[in-house]
Structure 1
C-alpha cells in the first residue's frame, strides 16, 4: 500500500519526470529531438543494429534456410517419386491396353476361323442334303417312269382289245351285221401300222 506523507504532498512530484508528451520538462523548453534521431545515440544504435542483424543472419543461415532447404529437397524427392510412379503406372496401363488389343485381335481371328468352319460345315451339310434329296428324287423319278411305262404298256396292250371291242360294237350297231374278232384285229393292225 502506498502512503502519502505530508512532506511528499507539499513537494512538486512532476519535477524531473516525463510528461504525457514523452519529453522531459527540461527538454520541452529546449526543443528536444526524437531519440532515434539524436546524434549522440547513433553509435549505440548502429552497434545494436549490427548485433541484431548478425544474430538474425545467423538464425536464418543456421535454422531457417536449412529447414527450408530440407523441405524443398523433400518435396523435390517426393515429386520425382510421384513422377516415377506415374510413369510406371502409365507404362503398365499401356502394356495392359496393348495386351487387351492383342487378345481382342486374337479373339476376332478365332471367331473368324470358327465362323468360316461353321460356314463350311453348313455348306457341306447343305450340299450333302441336296445330293441326298436329288438322289432320292432321281430314284422316285425312275420308279415313277417305270410305273408310267408299265401303265403305258398295259394301256397299249389293252388298246387293241378295247379297239376290237369298240369296232365290233360299232359295226353291230351301225351296220347291223357281225364281224369276227380276227377280221377286226387284222383291220386294227393294218390301221396302226403293226
Structure 2
C-alpha cells in the first residue's frame, strides 16, 4: 500500500497531523456535540416516561370509569327488572280482580236468568194446565159427557205429572 510507505519522510508529519485533528475532533465531540445529543436523548426518555405514566393514569381512570359504568348499568338493569316485575304483579292483580268481578256479575245474571226462566216455565206450565184443562173440558163436552171442572183439572195435572216424571227419568 503506497499510503503506508514509512520510508517517505512526509508520512510521519501526516500521522502527527492525523492525531492532532483526531484529538481536536474528539474533544469537540466530547465537549459540545455529545452532551447535546445526550441531553436530547435524556429529554426524550423523560418525555416518553411521562407519557407512559400519563397513559397508565388515564388507563386506571378509564378502568375505574368502566367499572362504575358497569355497576350503574347493573343497578339500572336490576331496578328496571324490579319495576317490570312490580308492574306485572300489579296488572295481574288488577286483571284477577276484574275477572272475579266479572265472574260474580255473570253468576248473578245467570241466577237471575234461571229465576226468570223458572218463573216463565211455571207461568207457561200454569197456562198449559189451564189451556189443557179448558181443551179437555171442551172435548169432553163435545163428546156429550158432563164432567166437573175440578175433576178435569185433577186429571190434567195427573197426566202432566206423569209425563214430566217420564221426561225426567
TM-score by length of 2: 0.81
Bigger share in helix: 2
Partner of residue 169, structure 1:
138
Query: Structure 2: any 5+ residue segments left out of the alignment?
Result: 163-169
Partner of residue 158, structure 1:
127
Query: Structure 1: any 5+ residue segments left out of the alignment?
Result: 1-32
Moved over 3 A (4+): 189-194
Q: Check if 1:72 corresponds to 2:41.
A: yes
Q: How does 1:1-194 map to 2 (within 5 A)?
A: 39-173=8-142, 175-192=143-160
CA shift at 1:149, angstroms? 2.1
TM-score by length of 1: 0.72
Aligned partners of 2:127 and 2:150: how far apart in 1?
Answer: 16
RMSD (Å), alpha carbons: 2.5
Aligned partners of 2:110 and 2:29: how far apart in 1?
Answer: 116
Aligned partners of 1:47 and 1:192: how far apart in 2?
Answer: 158
CA shift at 1:84, angstroms? 1.1
